[in-house]
Each structure stands twice: as C-alpha cells, then as structure tokens.
Amino acid sequence: MSSPKQQEEREVRGASRREFLKTAATGAAAVMGAPGAAQAFDFESFLQKNFRQMSDEEIDEVLDRLSRKYSKKYGKDVTVDAVGPMDDVVYGYGLDISRCIGCRRCVYACVEENNQSRDPEIQWIRVLEFEREAATRGIDMEDGNPYYDHETVPAEDKFYLPMACMHCEDSPCTNVCPTGATWSDPDGIVVIDYDWCIGCRYCMAACPYGARKFNWGEPNVSAEDINPDMHLLGNRPRSRGVVEKCSFCIQRVRKGRYPACLEACPVGARKFGNLLDPDSEIRYLLKHKRTFVLKSELKTNPKFFYFYG
Amino acid sequence: MASNSPDPEDYRPPGYQLVTWVILGLAVVVVFGLTSIRTDHQPDTSRDYPSRPQLPDVEPVLLPPPPMDDEYFPCSDCHEDEPPNPIERELEDEHDEMDFEHGTLWCLDCHDLNDREKLHLADDALVEFEDSWQLCTQCHGKKLADWRAGVHGKRTGHWRGPKEYRACVSCHNPHSPPFKPLAPEPPPLRPENITPNGNVRLEAAHE
C-alpha cells in the first residue's frame, strides 16, 4: 500500500503525462492541417485505457464525457452507466423451443433496446426456421433458414430456434481477442469495450454461433429511436469498424430487470435468471425440463439453454 | 588511394545520428506501448465496480385477466329469462359464432348452471371469472407447477425485484386455448443487401 502522499504524487504525475500527450497530439493535428482538425478528433477517447485497467475515477470521467457527448448528439438526456455485476450472480437464459412461434418480436425489441444500426441493418438475434421432420434426424445448423417470410407464423411443420450470444463459460471469442477488448465478467456476461476493439474480427471467426456482428459502415440510429438508458459495455452507440453482440441487456439485468427480448415474447418462451440461486426460474427449468445447448461438443459451455416446456 | 576522402561504404548522410535516435526512440515507445496494451485475458474479478445494486426478491404480482366482452357480460342479462337446460348439445342460436376447441368439454363443465356469473370446479365449488385459473389447473396440473415456478407463461418486470405474471386466460382463450398464429416481423436483409453505406433493396442490388 502506498501512502496518500505517494498516491497524490502519482496522480499528479499521471495527470501531467496525460496533459503532455494531449498537447503533443493537438500539436500533431495542427501540423497535419485543417482536414484532421475539422474531424474534431477525440483525444480523450484515443488515450482511454482498457475498461479493466481504469480506476473508478477514470471510469466516472469516461461516463460523464460520453453522457454529455451523446446527449448533445441526440438532443435528449442520455445517461451512460457502468453498473457492475451483482455479488453471487451468474446469469443463465432459457428458451422454450416447444413454444417459440418465430414471430421475431424479440429481434426488433432487441434492436430498439440496444441501439442497433437500422441502416445498415444489424440484428443481434437471428431466428432460424427448421423442418420439424428433419429435426427427427438431428438438427444441422446449416439447414436453418433465417429469411422465412410467411403471412402468419408458426408455419406448418416448422419449428423455430432464435440465436444470439450464448455467453459461453469457455468463450472462444474472448480467447482470441488481441487487445483484450472482450472478456467474460464475473456474472458471466461476455462484454466488449468498444473503444478497444480494433475490428480485426478474430472473435467473429472464433464464435461457433455467429453471434457477433461487425459494423462495416457507420451505424445509424435516429435521435428519435435512440434508447437513452445506456451501459458503457452494452447498448451505447458503436462506431464503424467495431464488433457488437448480445449483452443479455446488461443495462437492464444488472439493475434487476428482465432482458428486452424476454418481455417482448408473446408466448412467454424466454426465461432468465440467476444460475446460482436454487429457487430461480432458470434453475427450475434446468432441473425439471429436458434442456440442451447448441454445439455442446465444442465444450464452450453456453449459458443459453434451450428446453422443451 | 591515400586521399582523405571518406570511404563510400562508410558514408553517412547528414543528420544520420538524429535519425538513428528518432528510430530508436520510436522503437522504445512501440515496445513499451505493446507491453502495456496487452492485458491478460482473464477478467480481474477483484475489480471494484462503481456500484453493485442489490434488489430485494419479492413475490410476483398476478396481473388481472383482460376485461370480459361487453357483448356477453353479464351473462344473466340474457340467461335470467331463459329456463336452464342442462342437456349437453350443440349450440345453434346463441354463441354459435364462437370457436370451441377444448377437448370434449361443453359449457356446463365450467360454467355454473344456477349461478351464471360464476364458474364451478369439479367439486361444484363456485369460483369467480377472475379466478378461472383454479378451474384450468384442475386438469393442467403440470402447467400449474411450471406456472408457479415462472417457467410456463410470461413474466415481466424484474428477474430480481418486482415482477408481474399472468393468469391462463390472459394468453389463452378458454374456449379455444391453442395460441393463435400471428404475422411475423420482417425477415433480416440478406448480406448482399447490406453495404457499408446502407441497406440496398433487392431490386436495386440487381440493377
């Protein structure tokens, strides 16, 4: 433990170094000329540490800066928080495939809640349609059709399998990230620090579930549609060149709420809760229902369980 | 060759030393940068987060079922004047527009013959329409267990904290319980119709 004086000294030194870098960078931009300066390059963002290396004060600074930035951009009161995991909580998700009718209400509830780009289109949840008959021979994920377009659902002799991030216990995506921009938090949510994502898409190649989406273009959400209740590692606006995916609605669940997809489901097929609580809904279904996870042979240990209700 | 002219192989351009130092400096910066950037992949579980909310676990609240159809309720408006007929039959003049798809049940299996504003259980105990779940779960016992645990039916609100759940008739029509088909939301665009500059409609993409 360092004495308060040493601490203070370190902070002063840290601040002056940051000041120096800022001045140097501003100088460099000025030298490079007007076009660079006109872009209003965000030096604070450029120099921002990885989320896991930031002190509480540094996180607060970032939250404050981003809240102000987004409030100005969207012309409404936006709050960005970084609420941490609860003690003794590991999240699990259950989906009753005997109930799902493939209506895609969850997909669009997710888009709205999590500020996914409308144009170019990004959707975290993908609902696959399968032949019921084919399933008796075992599901091949490649046979799933996400583009079905019927008058009404469920279509005859079909069943539906919505997919998003499985929040694997042994997540291949986080293992391959070269910058440490994605990791699994203590409550099991696999999160992304968008400021540290360099867009190499190794994680997308590593993910066996196709859960991760890439911003090929500048994402686009209108001020009217933006959800102002944001989490730093969740639904805050992304930029071009970064990867995004389902965060179990981190901005909701860490405040005790259900995820948006669950609340949108008209048939009540979606279940969510604390895997460490023996009385939770998720533990009940793991105990009493036939459950399975996708691609269990890969030993990713997903925390997203499908079950027959 | 005894001249003092410099050996061409030994030639150094002007400012050579400065360039060397700059390159060396950059190398040091890059090396330091890389070592400080690369964090280990395991999350730092000791990390102190700004806030750790803890909400209480509370009993869920049962939402009231949807209001009854004014066209039929209260039942006694019509049935008061009708002599009760307990014989099981196909309805012809009244209620014939309704779908009845609930096994072999007929009206008086659930509706009470003498008190038209009530339902009755298998033991003839009367229940209010609002408490119809008691009637349903006489047969659907497994669903009752799942529903109590929050695994059958829809819950909203908080996974930890205040939450609401719904009675059977909020989602199922008791006269025709299977969930009715509904129109799906639009399908996702195909990859060829999404460009970095925005979405492209199929026709435009093929022009």
Same domain, A41 and A100: no
On the question of pLDDT at A159 being above 90, the answer is yes
Is A152 domain-assigned? yes
For A91, the closest chain B residue by CA position comes to B159
Is B74 domain-assigned? yes
Distance of CA A193 to the CA centre of its chain: 10
**DSSP code at position A98:** T
- B162: cis peptide before it, omega within 30°? no
Could B49 and A177 be called an inter-chain contact, meaning their C-beta atoms sit closer than 8 Å? Answer: no
What's the pLDDT band for B69 if we cut at 50, 70, 90? confident
Same domain, A211 and A300: yes
The per-residue pLDDT for range A227-280, each reduced to its tens digit, is 999 999 999 999 999 999 999 999 999 999 999 999 999 999 999 999 999 999
Is B53 domain-assigned? no
Nearest Cβ partner of A84 from B50, B159, B199?
B50
Total number of domains constituting chain A: 2
| Boundaries of domain holding A256 | 81-309
ipTM field: 0.83
Same domain, A35 and A98: no
Same domain, A234 and A154: yes
CATH code: domain of residue A261? 3.30.70.20
Is B118 domain-assigned? yes
Same domain, A89 and A177: yes
The per-residue pLDDT for range A110-157, each reduced to its tens digit, is 999 999 999 999 999 999 999 998 878 888 888 999 999 999 999 999
For B70-206, where are the alpha helices, taking DSSP H only? 76-79, 133-139, 141-149, 168-171, 202-206
pLDDT at A173: 97
What's the pLDDT band for A2 if we cut at 50, 70, 90? very low
The closest alpha carbon to B130, from B142, B146, B117, belongs to B117
Is B135 domain-assigned? yes
In angstroms, the first-to-last Cα distance of chain A is 54
Whole-number Å distance between alpha carbons of A191 and A180:
11
Whole-number Å distance between alpha carbons of B44 and B37:
15
Percent of chain B with pLDDT over 70: 81
Average pLDDT over residues B84-105: 88
Could A121 and B37 be called an inter-chain contact, meaning their C-beta atoms sit closer than 8 Å? Answer: no
Is A7 domain-assigned? yes
SS3 A32: helix
SS (H, E, C) B29-61: HHHHHHHHHCCCCCCCCCCCCCCCCCCCCCCCE
Total number of domains constituting chain B: 1
Of the given ranges (A13-22, A139-148, A297-306, B187-196), which has the lowest mean pLDDT? A13-22
Is A193 domain-assigned? yes
| Boundaries of domain holding B160 | 61-80+100-171
What's the pLDDT band for A75 if we cut at 50, 70, 90? very high
Could B53 and A83 be called an inter-chain contact, meaning their C-beta atoms sit closer than 8 Å? Answer: yes
Nearest Cβ partner of A52 from B43, B155, B181?
B43
Whole-number Å distance between alpha carbons of A130 and A159:
5
Is A196 domain-assigned? yes
